[in-house]
């Protein structure tokens, strides 16, 4: 409990900072408010991302930190791959049609997420390796 | 293992910072791009009527605009193409502006060969599109359509039955009442109306020409008179009407009388 309470507040603080960054970032998107159809997708991404920021920090120092990190990167890969299929954004307003092709940009995001996934897998392997080494050291000591 | 992980962590962090910076600056940059339209310039030759629309594209953003393409297509109510025009600029670098002269040409003779354009009001549809490649990464397109009203220059063109009056022992005066409305908001109908009267043996009995000058949205209501040989006059015959203007020629419009 003594460890969990500061960790909880740290996780909360990190989530709040991330949310604040999102608010600042979204202010740049005010001119694109017509993209209502895509707002739900974007909100879903933000909610999931904030959730993972919180749980990763909460599970800091445990195997779950790495598992959640991997899940987070995997979620990002899947999310951007899904969005990539709908990467051509079309907005119809009365007699006008606006089209933005974000497929190349989304492909970069998928690649970035895969890089994160690889890094988190390595981290998990390293963490398990270190745990094993510690256990071995503990086992060898009495000899 | 720690060193590669740390290197990968920094690479990932650097990657996301770069992507985020690009996304934010790109979104902000778009708001700095200004598009203004200059006064349209009208030029006409014997065959063509051209509207030149200057488009001033001010790229105050941080990124390059490539493959800038403006296309306009005008079709009539049956989707027949009336005019198609395109303008292209390969590059508009950041902090630069470009003026594009978009020329939309209309072949007047071709348009006026369509009889329904002369006599019936209609609507043309204008399809406009702009395509560009922002920052050489993000293709962007904008399409719009608008309705252009077309007013017939000879709307409700009517020729009433000829009225006869005695002139002398051998000739009769014939008056043919003609009326129409110039619904065209774009031009004045200036030219002549020529009338020929034929009897049932297809002999030309008389002809006359009247000059016309009917501004936009004005009515024309007049009688064109001529003398015909009373001996050639038959109960039935034809009136042939020819309209010759600066913009178009039409005729003969055949009206049977009797």
Contact B136, B85 (CB under 8 A): no
Residue-level pLDDT at A37: 64
Q: Do A118 and B20 touch (CB under 8 A)?
A: no
Q: Does B8 touch chain A if contact means CB atoms closer than 8 Å?
A: yes
The predicted model scores a pTM of 0.69
Mean pLDDT of B203-213: 90
C-alpha A61: how far from chain center: 18
**A98, A100, A119 ranked by CB distance to B12: nearest:** A119
How large is the average pLDDT for residues A2-27?
85
**Does the beta-carbon distance from B4 to A122 stay under 8 Å?**
yes
DSSP reduced 3-state for A97: strand
pLDDT for the residue A70 = 92
- Asked if residue A34 has pLDDT above 60, the reply is no
Per-residue confidence at A30, pLDDT binned at 50, 70, 90?
A: low
Query: In angstroms, how far apart are the furthest CA atoms of chain A?
Result: 83
State the average pLDDT over residues A93-116: 87
Mean pLDDT along residues A61-89: 85
Domain ranges in chain B are 34-150, 155-257
Chain A within 8 Å of B20 (Cβ-Cβ)? yes
Above pLDDT 90, what percent of chain A?
18
CATH of B155-257, one of 2.30.22.10, 3.90.1410.10, 3.30.360.10, 2.60.40.10: 2.60.40.10
User: B174: which 2 tokens?
Assistant: 């014939």
Surface of B (116-155) touching A: CB under 8 A: 137-146
- Across A93-105, average pLDDT: 86
Report, as an integer, the average pLDDT of A107-131: 89
CB contact under 8 A, A119 and B8: yes
Considering only alpha carbons, which residue of chain B is nearest residue A101? B139
| Closest CA–CA distance from residue B217 to any residue of chain A (Å) | 29
Q: How many residues does chain B have?
A: 258
Contact B144 A96 (CB under 8 A): yes
Question: Alpha-carbon distance B155 to B169, whole Å?
Answer: 39
A67 confidence band (pLDDT: 50, 70, 90)? very high
Residue B160 in this model has a pLDDT that exceeds 90: no
Q: How confident is the model at residue A138 (pLDDT cuts 50, 70, 90)?
A: confident
Orientation angle between helical segments A103-140 and A63-85, nearest 10 degrees: 160
Angstrom distances, CA of residue A36 to CA of A32, A98, A100, A129, B108: 9, 13, 14, 47, 44
B189: closest CA among B240, B244, B242?
B244
- Res B95 pLDDT > 80: yes
CA distance B124 to A68: 60
pLDDT interval class at A31 (50, 70, 90) = low
What is the mean pLDDT of the segment spanning B207-213? 91
Question: What average pLDDT does this structure show over B213-223?
Answer: 91
Q: In whole angstroms, what is the distance from residue A122 CA to residue A111 CA?
A: 17
pLDDT: which is higher, B21 or A95: B21
Residue among B140, B147, B148 with most chain A CBs within 10 A, to mutate: B140
**What local confidence, expressed as pLDDT, does residue A33 receive?**
59
Distance CA B83, CA B111 (A): 10
Nearest chain B residue to A117 by CA: give it.
B12
pLDDT higher at A39 or B67:
B67
Q: How far apart are CA B103 and CA B40, in angstroms?
A: 10
Residues of chain B contacting A29 with CB distance shorter than 8 Å: 27
State the average pLDDT for chain A.
84
Q: How far apart are CA A48 and CA A76, in angstroms?
A: 9
Q: Chain A residue with minimal CA distance to B28?
A: A28
Does the beta-carbon distance from B20 to A25 stay under 8 Å? yes
pLDDT bracket for residue A52 (50, 70, 90): very high
pLDDT (average), residues A20-48: 74
Q: What is the mean pLDDT of chain B?
A: 88
User: Superfamily for B34-150?
Assistant: Immunoglobulins (2.60.40.10)
- Given this model, what pLDDT does residue B131 score? 93
**pLDDT at residue A36 greater than cutoff 70:** no
Question: Using the beta-carbon criterion (under 8 Å), do B24 and A95 form an inter-chain contact?
Answer: no
**Distance (Å) from the alpha carbon of A139 to chain B's nearest alpha carbon:** 23
- Say if B27 is an interface residue toward chain A (CB within 8 Å): yes
Question: For B23-46, what is the mean pLDDT?
Answer: 86
Tens-place pLDDT, residues B138-149: 999 999 999 988
pLDDT at A35: 60
Residue of A nearest to B7 (CA): A119
**Cβ neighbours of residue B35 closer than 8 Å, sequence gap 6 or more:** B55, B56, B57, B58
Neighbouring residues of B146: CB distance < 8 A, sequence distance ≥ 6? A95, B125, B126, B128
With a pLDDT cut of 90, the percent of chain B lying above it is 33
Q: Which residues of chain A approach chain B closer than 8 Å at the C-beta?
A: 25, 28-29, 31-32, 95-102, 104-105, 108-109, 112, 115-116, 118-119, 122-123, 125-126, 129
pLDDT of amino acid A32? 58
Q: Hey, do B34-150 and B155-257 end up sharing a CATH topology, with the first three levels equal?
A: yes
Closest residue in chain B to residue A130, using alpha carbons only: B1
Torsion of CA B158, B159, B161, B166, to 10 degrees: 140
Mean pLDDT of B163-172: 84
Average pLDDT over residues A120-140: 88
């Amino acid at each position: 409990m003594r460890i969990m309470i500061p960790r909880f507040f740290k996780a909360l603080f990190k989530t709040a900072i991330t949310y604040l960054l999102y608010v600042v970032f979204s202010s740049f998107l005010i001119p694109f408010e017509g993209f209502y159809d895509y707002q739900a997708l974007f909100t879903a991404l933000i909610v999931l991302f904030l959730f993972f920021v919180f749980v990763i920090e909460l599970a800091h120092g445990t195997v779950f930190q790495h598992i959640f990190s991997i899940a987070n990167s995997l979620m990002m890969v899947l999310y951007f791959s899904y969005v990539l299929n709908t990467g051509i954004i079309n907005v119809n307003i009365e007699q006008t049609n606006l089209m933005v092709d974000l497929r190349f940009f989304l492909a970069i995001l998928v690649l970035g997420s895969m890089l994160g996934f690889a890094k988190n897998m390595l981290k998990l392997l390293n963490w398990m390796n270190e745990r094993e080494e510690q256990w071995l050291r503990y086992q060898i000591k009495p000899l | 293992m720690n060193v590669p992980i740390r290197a990968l962590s920094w690479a990932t962090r650097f990657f996301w910072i770069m992507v985020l910076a690009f996304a934010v600056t790109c979104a902000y940059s778009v708001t700095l791009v200004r598009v203004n339209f200059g006064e349209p310039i009208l030029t006409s030759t014997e065959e063509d009527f051209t509207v030149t629309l200057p488009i001033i594209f001010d790229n105050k953003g941080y990124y390059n605009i490539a493959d800038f393409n403006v296309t306009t297509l005008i079709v009539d109510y049956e989707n027949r193409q009336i005019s198609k025009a395109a303008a292209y600029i390969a590059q508009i670098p950041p902090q630069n502006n470009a003026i594009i002269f978009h020329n939309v040409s209309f072949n007047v003779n071709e348009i006026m060969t369509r009889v329904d354009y002369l006599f019936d009001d209609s609507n043309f549809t204008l399809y406009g599109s702009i395509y560009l490649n922002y920052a050489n990464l993000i293709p962007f397109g904008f399409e719009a359509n608008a309705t252009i009203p077309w007013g017939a220059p000879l709307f409700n063109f009517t020729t009433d039955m000829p009225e006869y009056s005695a002139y002398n022992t051998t000739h009769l005066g014939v008056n043919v009442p003609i009326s129409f409305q110039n619904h065209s908001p774009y031009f004045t109908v200036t030219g002549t109306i020529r009338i020929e009267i034929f009897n049932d043996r297809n002999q030309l009995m008389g002809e006359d020409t009247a000059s016309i000058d009917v501004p936009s949205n004005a009515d024309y209501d007049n009688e064109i008179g001529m003398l015909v040989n009373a001996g050639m006059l038959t109960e039935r015959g034809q009136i042939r009407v020819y309209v010759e203007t600066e913009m178009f020629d039409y005729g003969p419009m055949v009206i049977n009388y009797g």
